[in-house]
Structure 1
Amino acid sequence: MATVSFEQPGDQFLCSICLGIFTDPVSTPCGHNFCKACITRHWDSNVVCVCPLCKDTFYTKPEMKINTLLSQMASEFRSEEPAAKPGEVQCDVCTGTKLKAIKSCLRCEASFCQTHLGPHLTAAPLKLHQLIHPVDSLEDRMCKKHKKPLELFCKTDQTCVCSLCPVLDHKNHEFVPLKEESEGKKAELGKTQTEIQQKIQQIQLKFQEIKQSAKLSREAADRKKADGGQVFTALKQRVKKDQADFTETVEKQQRSTEKQAEDLTKELQVELSELMEKNAEVEKLLLSEDHLHVLQSFSSVSTVSPTTDWTPVRVHQRSYDGWLEKAVAQLEGSISKEVKKLLEVELRKIQQFAVDVTLDPGSAHPTLILSKDRKQVHDGDMRKKRPTDSPCRFNTMNQIPCALGKQSFSSGKFYYEVQVKGKTEWGVGVVAEKIDRKGSFTLSPQRGFWTVWLWSDHRFLALASPPVVLSLKSKPEKVGVFVDYEEGLVSFYDVDAAALMFSFTGCSFTHKLLPIFSPGLKHGGTDSASLIISAVTHTQ
């Protein structure tokens, strides 16, 4: 038999008693169709069997058989509707398997599947009922006091009410339809959603930023490990070679000593053999009773051939004192050369982040004199007439005269170099933009200063907490300043010696950073050289 399917059942497939698709449909003698269970219950509850639709009366209860065709058609349609899954709203009318509800009726206070929703779509009185998306607990949508649907919103009390509430309980209040208030709230939610989406986007961007930073950090760490591996491999090879050279030198000297001892032993062995032979002849004559033979052999045996005087002969025994110390010193020199090469390579990499820095006249202490190109500064020994009310200017009599760079940095890496040749006092580094420039302050990282100084007593200091005295092999003539903002690193280099002077590590930068320069005090002309921001020439 051909299969017949329906997108939506008509009234002819619905039981007028249960309003659902037929289950075991039967036909009455008058020609109307009902579920067998529905019509049986209906007739069992009445004395006379009456058709619920046409009111025909049957004085004898009719014997009814299942309408096979109608049953098959109803089954075909019912099989297309999904059963309600856990958590889904169930049809309140279904008697067997509960199907998934597609609408809820506020007037009927019930939810309907596609089949049982039919009358609400076709029957004129039911079309006036308010249908909504299927929901559980329809009683929550009813006024608990008046048992009517919640249709209005009381703006005065900020609550949902039914149509009777304004008359009985909310007199003189302001009301609007639920839809109107809902649309207003949706507009507010739209703004909230936009704000949430913006924050989600910000977090997603930050997530990507952190992920990318971690990736770049891993790549940098891998590169640094590779560089370190090459350096330490070279150092190990140098140590191994110097150890081999030291061992070979000691062994060579020992072989020389052993050769000397061997040669002397051979000479001694020859003389010893000759003397032993002569002694045997003498011994033989002493024991002989042949007097004639004794007399005839005496002259040849009694004379002893001259021998070497071995008393002063010595095998020179090496003490090797100082040899190990000398080898270690040579090794230290070799390692120092390798370390210098490493630092030169590192400095060349850092110099790639060189930036153009100029002095900011608006920040310069009144005693300082700046060159026209804003690249040089020295102490003028007397205060200049400059505006003193600017919050940017260092302006206290007891301050060390300072000036800041015009350029500021709030991310990434940057590097600049300062010539300090011929000066007996100077200070360079970076500072936070928000530092105090008026009162007396301590030059420390806690105050926003990351600086290195040469004082008039010839001490080099890194002004950490506490300050660190720097032991430098030579007096720098040009100082390089390198900053890695994200890494929290500020490093100072003796450029000509390619030597690291000092590093501030683990810094937490939260403001813009500016270069800081102090040429020190002029001291009556004994320190009149300028501090010069020099162009970066890459180390060879």
Structure 2
Amino acid sequence: MCPQHHKPLELFCSTDHSCVCTMCTVLEHQSHKFVSLKEEFTQRKASLQQTQEQSRNMVEQRRLKIQEVQSSVQLSQRAVDTERATGLQAFTALIESVQRSRERFIQELQERQRQSQKQAEALVLQLQQEICELEQRSTEAEQLQRSEDHLHFLQHCTKLTPPTGLKDWSSETLETETYEGTAARVLSELEESLKETFTQERKVSEAKLKTFKLFAVDLTLDPDTAHVKLFVSRDLKQVHHTDEKKFTDSAQRFSCFNVLTKQSFSSGKFYFEVQVKSKTCWTLGVAKESVERKNIKALNSKYGYWCLHKENTDKYEACTDPSVRLSLKSPPQKVGVFVDYDKGLVSFYDADSEDLIYSFTGCCFKEKLFPFLNPYYNYNGLNSAPLVLTTVKK
């Protein structure tokens, strides 16, 4: 009941957001807007139900996100464990190899010292024997020298001549062993051994890349996604930046110099190669389907891009969050990209030398992945060369 007019509250004042009676509409709420109380109740209840549904959906989304994050952490941990086991195995083998070389080095020095000691002892023994023999003759000669018996002296003096067969020690020397160069030789042998080990592992890496090439896919660029100032070749294999507008803008197009491929992948493994020859700046890799196309904050794994970036002449980065600076033996002319969707792996290779450049591991893919290229500005012709999707030679 209306406390002022003692009439039933049958209406709702949309202007004052209050329940009123018919008398209120005439007196206190003139020119206000009204709806029936039942209608307002029905609308408010429906709105509340909708809010509750939205809240439940938001809660469910966040629970799913927690599961996704936890799954990503688990995948990352498994990747860390696998890489740690592989690395520890390699370092253990390296340490054992160095220890074996060290023991071999010490044993060789000790053996050579024993041989030298043995030779010296043999010479000393021979000298001591001759000294004993000479001293005995000297003693006998001294005793005979004191004798006054002419007959005795003459009978024995001929026997006291210097013994025959004595060695002339004036020309005999025992060379001093310097052992110089032993450590250098052992280290050189160790280096050769490590090179052989590295070569064997390199062959394993090459064999792995050859296996990846079995999953090569034929890709073509999608001009409908290209930035308005990108030129896409007629065969849809090349792209570079121009100073002129080549396309009309649309919601599908990127506001940065990206272009996706027409092909996408949501399971399994795939491999492709991109020629980057003569370019000073570029980015390439894979992106999830839902990446922002206009309000782009960064091309990195946090925002759904798993890619490699080159800037200037020698700066290479893996686009993690934060980015990881890479040190390459030589600038790649062609980059190979291998993706194992189910294992959450994205690896980049120098396609010519077959060296691994960088791997994203423990990724959690939930939607389609699109290979993408970004040739960057042409910088007044300095970076005008195109990025090229090339045919993979298996």
TM-score category of the 2 structures, normalised to the smaller one = 0.5 to 0.7
Match of 2:254 among 394, 403, 418: 394
Structure 2 contact 281–311 (Cα < 8 Å) conserved:
yes
One-letter amino acid of the counterpart of residue 290, structure 1: S
Structure 1 contact 366–386 (Cα < 8 Å) conserved:
yes
Judging changes above 3 Å, is the alpha-carbon distance between structure 1 residues 305 and 508 closer, same or farther for their aligned structure 2 residues?
closer
Task: Report the equivalent of 2:47.
Answer: none
Deviation string for 1:101-155 (max 9, x for gaps)?
A: xxxxxxxxxxxxxxxxxxxxxxxxxxxxxxxxxxxxxxxxxxxxxxxxxxxxxxx
Structure 2 contact 349–358 (Cα < 8 Å) conserved:
yes
Deviation string for 1:151-172 (max 9, x for gaps)?
A: xxxxxxxxxxxxxxxxxxxxxx
Give unmatched runs, 5+ long, in structure 1: 1-220
One-letter amino acid of the counterpart of residue 420, structure 1: V
Secondary structure of the equivalent of 1:525?
Answer: coil
Distance apart, 1:451 and its partner CA: 0.6
Task: Report the equivalent of 2:339.
Answer: 483
Distance apart, 1:450 and its partner CA: 0.8
Secondary structure of the equivalent of 1:281?
Answer: helix
Distance apart, 1:286 and its partner CA: 2.3
Task: Report the equivalent of 1:163.
Answer: none
Q: What are the within-5 Å matches in structure 2 for residues 33-112 of structure 1?
A: none
Secondary structure of the equivalent of 2:135?
Answer: helix
- Are residues 1:463 and 2:323 paired? no
Secondary structure of the equivalent of 2:169?
Answer: coil
Match of 1:307 among 169, 178, 191: 169
Structure 1 contact 242–331 (Cα < 8 Å) conserved:
no
Distance apart, 1:329 and its partner CA: 3.0
Distance 1:239 1:440 in 2: 47
One-letter amino acid of the counterpart of residue 329, structure 1: E
Structure 2 contact 120–174 (Cα < 8 Å) conserved:
no
Q: TM-score, normalised by structure 2?
A: 0.65
Distance 1:315 1:279 in 2: 32
Distance 1:385 1:423 in 2: 21
Judging changes above 3 Å, is the alpha-carbon distance between structure 1 residues 340 and 317 closer, same or farther for their aligned structure 2 residues?
closer
One-letter amino acid of the counterpart of residue 406, structure 1: K
Distance 2:120 2:328 in 1: 55
One-letter amino acid of the counterpart of residue 218, structure 2: D
Structure 1 contact 257–316 (Cα < 8 Å) conserved:
no
One-letter amino acid of the counterpart of residue 451, structure 1: C
- Are residues 1:290 and 2:147 paired? yes
Task: Report the equivalent of 1:144.
Answer: none
- Are residues 1:384 and 2:245 paired? yes
Secondary structure of the equivalent of 1:321?
Answer: helix
Distance 2:340 2:360 in 1: 11
Structure 1 contact 378–530 (Cα < 8 Å) conserved:
yes
Judging changes above 3 Å, is the alpha-carbon distance between structure 1 residues 305 and 424 closer, same or farther for their aligned structure 2 residues?
same
Distance 2:204 2:240 in 1: 35
Distance apart, 1:420 and its partner CA: 1.6
Task: Report the equivalent of 1:425.
Answer: 281
Structure 2 contact 109–179 (Cα < 8 Å) conserved:
no
Task: Report the equivalent of 2:64.
Answer: none
One-letter amino acid of the counterpart of residue 387, structure 1: T
Structure 1 contact 261–315 (Cα < 8 Å) conserved:
no
Match of 2:371 among 515, 533, 536: 515
Judging changes above 3 Å, is the alpha-carbon distance between structure 1 residues 307 and 483 closer, same or farther for their aligned structure 2 residues?
closer
- Are residues 1:364 and 2:222 paired? no
Task: Report the equivalent of 1:446.
Answer: 302
Judging changes above 3 Å, is the alpha-carbon distance between structure 1 residues 241 and 491 closer, same or farther for their aligned structure 2 residues?
closer
Task: Report the equivalent of 2:330.
Answer: 474
Distance apart, 1:461 and its partner CA: 0.4
Task: Report the equivalent of 1:375.
Answer: 237
Structure 1 contact 493–500 (Cα < 8 Å) conserved:
yes
Task: Give the structure with higher Rg (CA).
Answer: 1
Distance apart, 1:298 and its partner CA: 11
Distance 1:532 1:269 in 2: 83
Distance apart, 1:529 and its partner CA: 2.4
Judging changes above 3 Å, is the alpha-carbon distance between structure 1 residues 492 and 313 closer, same or farther for their aligned structure 2 residues?
closer
Distance apart, 1:428 and its partner CA: 0.9
Deviation string for 1:220-266 (max 9, x for gaps)?
A: x9xxx9xx99xx79x96x99899878866775676555445544544
Structure with the greater relative contact order (CA < 8 A, sep ≥ 6): 1 or 2? Answer: 2
Distance 2:283 2:163 in 1: 96
Tell me how many residue pairs correspond in the alignment. Answer: 303
Distance apart, 1:378 and its partner CA: 2.1
Distance apart, 1:455 and its partner CA: 0.9
Distance 1:255 1:263 in 2: 12
RMSD: 3.7
- Are residues 1:343 and 2:205 paired? yes
- Are residues 1:352 and 2:209 paired? no
* Segment of structure 1 superposing worse, 512-521 or 301-310: 301-310
Q: What are the within-5 Å matches in structure 2 for residues 56-455 of structure 1?
A: 255=111, 258-288=114-144, 289-290=146-147, 293=153, 296=157, 300-301=161-162, 306-308=168-170, 313-317=175-179, 320-322=182-184, 325-380=187-242, 382-388=243-249, 390-395=250-255, 399=256, 401-455=257-311
Between Structure 1 and Structure 2, which shows a larger proportion of helix residues?
2
Distance 1:315 1:505 in 2: 56
Give unmatched runs, 5+ long, in structure 2: 1-77
Distance 2:301 2:392 in 1: 27
Q: TM-score, normalised by structure 1?
A: 0.49
Secondary structure of the equivalent of 1:330?
Answer: helix
Distance 1:299 1:526 in 2: 103
One-letter amino acid of the counterpart of residue 372, structure 1: R
Distance 1:505 1:376 in 2: 29
Secondary structure of the equivalent of 1:483?
Answer: strand
Secondary structure of the equivalent of 1:479?
Answer: strand
Judging changes above 3 Å, is the alpha-carbon distance between structure 1 residues 507 and 245 closer, same or farther for their aligned structure 2 residues?
closer
